[in-house]
A = this chain, B = another copy of it.
Amino acid sequence: MLNSSEKVNLSHIVSERIKEYILEKDMREGDKLPSEKQLIDALGVSRTVVREALKSMEMLGIVKIKTGDGIYVGGPSLKPILEQVSFRWHQDERKMTELVKTRRILELGAVEMAIENYDVACLDRMDEWNRRMAEKVDQGLPPIEEDLAFHETLFRATGNETYLELSGLISDFFLKIRTQHFDSVESSRKSVDEHQNVIDAIRAKDVARAKREMEIHLAPLQKFI
């Protein structure tokens, strides 16, 4: 890896070394890494290099730096990374269309996985969020958080954290957009019913029907774009 014929920075080499270290020691989330000083001595490089390597790794979520305390191994979460990258997505109109289509695939996949996993607690929570959503609608308020929470809980019901993170990123993106145009009361009420249909179908473990209901629910979004 650190062979010649490679004109890379020291920072890159150092971050590779630290990653190797994590693997060799089989460290997990929360484990404490050597301090900056120790890394400097062990690797024989300047503090600048070690710090730049660590800062990069921190932004990737690989490590977590705590001031005055030390450096810890971070979780395997995708979120910090995707957040860093998605900041440019709204540049493109086209990107929006793509996001809608991508979301469709993810939501349909989610109902399938949710049925396979069948987490009763999550299904109950989906009921709860839908109930609260109905309340908000009755009060004439836009049920944005509730709607989002419903879908997030669905992704959580898959029991697949990777999938949850991946989907969460896409869904979060829609929240920002929806804050501007609140849907009408009628369409919100319709959404509540559609949510209920999805839940019912999942409870019945009917994959085809659940997908159909979700498809119906998402159809207006497709047209909107």
Binding site for B on A (CB under 8 A): 11, 15, 19, 22-23, 26, 28, 48, 51-53, 55-62, 76, 78, 81, 84-85, 87-89, 91-92, 94-95, 98-99, 101-102, 105-106, 108-109, 112-113, 160-163, 166, 169-170
* Bound CA–CA A11/B85 (angstroms): 16
| With A60-B81, A105-B105 as contacts: A91 and B162 at CB distance below 8 Å | no
Nearest Cβ in chain B — how far from A77, in angstroms? 9
Contact check: which of B57, B85, B166 meets A102 at CB < 8 Å?
Answer: B166
* Bound CA–CA A55/B84 (angstroms): 13
* Bound CA–CA A89/B91 (angstroms): 31
Nearest Cβ in chain B — how far from A157, in angstroms? 13
Set of chain B residues within 8 Å of A99, measured between Cβ atoms: 162
Does the CB pair B95–A161 fall under 8 Å? yes
Set of chain B residues within 8 Å of A84, measured between Cβ atoms: 15, 57, 60, 62, 81
Nearest Cβ in chain B — how far from A3, in angstroms? 17
Between-chain CB contacts (< 8 Å), 11 pairs: A15-B59, A55-B55, A62-B84, A62-B85, A98-B162, A98-B163, A105-B106, A105-B112, A108-B109, A162-B170, A166-B170
Set of chain B residues within 8 Å of A61, measured between Cβ atoms: 85
- The closest CB in chain B to the CB of A165 belongs to B85
* Bound CA–CA A109/B92 (angstroms): 22
Does the CB pair A95–B113 fall under 8 Å? no
Q: Most B CB atoms within 10 A — which of A48, A99, A101?
A: A101
- The closest CB in chain B to the CB of A160 belongs to B98
Nearest Cβ in chain B — how far from A123, in angstroms? 19
Contact check: which of B15, B95, B113 meets A101 at CB < 8 Å?
Answer: B113
Set of chain B residues within 8 Å of A55, measured between Cβ atoms: 11, 52-53, 55-56
